Amino acid sequence: MSIQRTAVIGSGLMGAGIAEVLAKAGLDVIVREINDEASAAGRRRIEKSLAKAVDKGKLDAAARDAALGRLSFTTDITDLSDRQLVIEAASENEDIKKSIFSELDEVVTDPEAILASNTSSMPIIRFAQSTSRPERVLGVHFFNPAPVQPLVEIVSSVTTADSVRDTVTGFVAEVLGKNPIQAQDRPGFIVNALLIPYLCSAVRMLESGFATKEDIDAGMVGGCAHPMGPISLVDLVGLDTCLYAAQSMYAETGDPATQPPVLLSRMVDAGLLGVKSGRGFYDY
């Protein structure tokens, strides 16, 4: 299967990044948003990212213009009817995602089309069961920022066809130039199954007054050779994203290591989401 016609649902931080990756790879990309204002914000986000790549010498102006020319935006989900690959990158809300997959099942006409979710931790099977084609649904989990980070988790549910998994794995490696790893549909997949307990532990350490955020970060950078400390990483990933991932994993496993710290919940309630909001545990 040669994938040329793609779509992304949502153009927030992750959706915009994924759309940029697809467009730079020479693919036709439709981005679906909930309204014109969100579409305009998504386009600005992509334009800013591409401009930064040009400024850093990682992309030339002609390639930037070509990528932008492959992007279109819509608020009408029926415009995705001819897509071969649709990647859902909506907010981490299970009901919203299941509703999107149900809609996609109705409007995407190609029986060979693949429907994917960028969720960081939610069960893929629940989205698959919202469709009449569960064998063609899987997880394609990019990492933030998607244009820069090389890793993509390919997540198969118990109903995902091996051929679909193999097609997407090859597409990610050969067309997008990313490094795919394959994971089963388990809480947190591979990366977040290890990462979320670590981040929650760091926030609990801060919350208890055990150490300052600066010393927690310095300890892991200087003591474990991590490129970034856990508190800074929570800010980069987004406090809301970390919270939703922890909630999803804790609901499924009951593992105390994944129980969201109260401080994390309160900061999300306050709108202190990290880098993307200008303030989290640190100011930006």
**Active-site residues: which are they?**
120, 141, 153, 192
The pair of structure tokens assigned to 203 is 């926030």
String of b and e for 183-209 (b: at least 16 CB within 10 Å)? bebebbbbbbbebbbebbebbbbbeee
**Is the distance from CB of 200 to CB of 264 less than 8 angstroms?**
yes
Assign 4 to helix, strand or coil: coil
- Known binding-site residues for CoA equal 49, 56, 120
Query: What span, in angstroms and rounded, lies between the C-alpha atoms of 47 and 86?
Result: 21
What is the number of other CB atoms lying within 10 angstroms of the CB of residue 54? 15
Query: Which residue ranges make up the annotated binding site?
Result: 49, 56, 120
- Spatial neighbors of 277 by CB under 8 A, at least 6 apart, are 271
SS3 115: strand
- The CA distance from 74 to 81, in Å, is 12
Q: The tokens of 88 are what? A: 């859902």
